[in-house]
Structure 1
């Protein structure tokens, strides 16, 4: 099974386990052998050619499976079902909110899933099959895929919620300027995830009502549970976004208060030294008649005068409750 051919992996599913096959096994597969699952790279020309020429899938579904940009959607035609979902991007160096799409097509005997970037939920199903705990039917595969995607979403959204809690605690105690980039990154991540997860919630809600023969009542109950979890994720992201906005306002208020205190101190210092600077400026002009020029003790007298003047200003400001 070479990834250069566009085939990431393929199985004939048999009651929870699976027999791995290559392109030869795919071409020779018959429905009486078991359920066929192909996991393909839609960017590979070999996978595209097989999908168009040999899969037997209608043109609309083929175009949706190979599209460069897509969004969550569900489309049924007879006993076949096209489902496009998104998952958290856990690939190295990628942003979590840059979600990856998994495109899936189902009928009673076949499952075709396509991706370009690695989708960890599909790898999870692959590992479950290897240990004999994989899906035993097409409907169970669908519900397992949706559940695995939701599980990984839940972990990330839980971390976001914890991050907001931490920033709320730190905003009044830590240095505000260091919290700004963290808070901005958290808000960006929250907004990005919600933009992708919100349509997925609607797709899963609609999926429950799709009438295909191989989707039984138990599968529909599981899909409803995943849809409700996804709806809670959207609510959690809304809450995190609102809390982050409030935290941002509180942080701006703290920074503004710190700036006001700093400016107030500088104003007091300027008010004390302004008259002192005026006196020293007058005594330093190069014109005749400046008192004390011939007196050796004049500098000491002037210094004492300036200190006394400053102390007098301090007392006055204190009584006026300026400091």
Structure 2
């Protein structure tokens, strides 16, 4: 393993290109394979035990979606790649979960990598890599673990809702990517609510000691979302401009719609990024104002007691011949002068609106 800037990368240095090595931490994840094979008139949904059971769908006239959960099962992924003539470098990228969103174009298929974002039980954003391989009549998807945002897509296939059962595999890839991008809006909405809550808290003055750390955590979440979204714009743009036969002209309009959504999400991310910096500045300003209030009170108290201390210091000196010492009312006069000074300074500070 190599360690760069505090992060552990499981890929070994000097490894042979095309070596299929899982780099995640879910070594105990069970293998789960599901297939949806459909035409306009019918569909077949199966849960498979091994990838060999999916080989029959390769050369059919129907459209097939094979979804594999469990990137730690590299042998099964290798068998699937061998049957579908997938390049070893593609298989290597599938199981290397630190990939940046990207697209690779091959003669018979497209390879797309993107990040699926969701909140876990601890209210933290999880970024899970999802890989797609688009063929002439199939889409292969690879996920690290169970749980995704594709339930609506499954229902559309089962119930023949929308166009998915009447279109080709390029449209199936579109609806899968669109499901992930649509979920970005939910993430953005939650981030926006968090920023508004922080603003309300800071303006109210009820700031706890942990708020600076909370703001930093929110900043990291925004950066994580930004890293997932910004490269995806180029991916979708390249799919839209693909000149091969895999992406039909009538489908490119739908990918253009995804691109528009990504632009909208990206703009929101940039706005939230600026807002989070403003939150930190606002918090530091609040702390500074509180400190200034404390310093103002201390300065006023010091200003009041400095002349009183001066008078007390004069008459506290050990000289035998001080004129006022023998005067009968000196003690009371001294107290009177000090009280007048005290009240006078309070009135002066009040008029200056320092109190």
Same fold (TM over 0.5): yes
- Tell me by how many angstroms 1:204 deviates: 0.7
| 1:35–1:138 Cα contact (<8 Å) kept | yes
Q: For the residues of structure 2 that align with 1:299 and 1:124, how far apart are their CA atoms?
A: 91
The count of residues paired between Structure 1 and Structure 2 equals 320
1:12 is matched with which residue? 37
1:81 pairs, out of 107, 110, 122, with 110
| 1:222 Cα deviation after fit | 0.6
| Aligned equivalents of 1:146, 1:281: Cα separation in 2 | 81
Structure 1: distance between partners of 2:352 and 2:121:
62
- Within 5 Å, which residues of 2 pair with 1:287-306? 306=338
Residues 1:26 and 2:26 are matched in the alignment: no
Alignment CA distance shift 1:197-1:291 (3 Å): farther
Within 2, Cα distance between the matches of 1:321 and 1:85? 60
SS across alignment from 1:32: coil
2:127 to 91, 99, 114: 99
Q: Mark the CA change 1:291 to 1:140 in structure 2 (over 3 Å): closer, same or farther.
A: farther
Q: Distance in 1 between matches of 2:310 and 2:205?
A: 41
Rate the CA distance shift 1:94–1:220 in 2: closer, same or farther, 3 A: same
User: Please, what TM-score do these two structures have when normalized by structure 1?
Assistant: 0.82
- Segments of structure 2 that go 5 or more residues without pairing to the other structure are 1-27
Which residue does 1:314 correspond to in 2?
A: 346
Specify which of 143, 154, 160 is matched with residue 191 of structure 2. Answer: 160
CA 1:25/1:48 → structure 2, altered by over 3 Å: closer, same or farther? Answer: closer
Structure 1 CA distance, aligned partners of 2:62 and 2:331? 105
> TM-score when scaled to structure 2?
0.75
Question: Are the structure 2 counterparts of residues 310 and 100 from structure 1 closer, same or farther at C-alpha, using a change threshold of 3 Å?
Answer: same
Correspondence for 2:140: 112
3-state SS of the aligned residue for 1:99?
strand
Give the counterpart of 1:151 among 175, 182, 188: 182
Which shows bigger deviation, 125-134 or 220-229?
125-134
Report if aligned partners of 1:7, 1:47 keep a CA contact under 8 Å in 2.
no
Within 5 Å, give how 1:1-323 maps onto structure 2: 6-15=31-40, 17-22=43-48, 23=50, 25-29=53-57, 31-32=59-60, 34-40=62-68, 41-93=70-122, 95-96=124-125, 98-118=126-146, 120-133=148-161, 135-136=164-165, 137-168=168-199, 171-176=202-207, 180-280=212-312, 306-318=338-350, 323=355
1:19 CA displacement: 2.1
What does residue 12 of structure 2 align with? Answer: none
User: In 1, are the aligned partners of 2:118 and 2:187 still within 8 Å (CA)?
Assistant: no
Deviation at 1:154, TM superposition (A): 0.8
Hey, what's the Cα distance between the residues in 2 that align with 1:69 and 1:187? 21
Check conservation: 1:272, 1:310, Cα contact below 8 A.
Answer: yes
Distance of 2:184 and 2:243 partners within structure 1: 27
Matches of 2:319 and 2:77 in 1, distance apart?
95
Shift of 1:320: 6.5
Cα 1:254–1:21, aligned 2, differ >3 Å: closer, same or farther? Answer: closer
Shift of 1:25: 3.2
Unmatched tracts of structure 1, length 5 or more: none
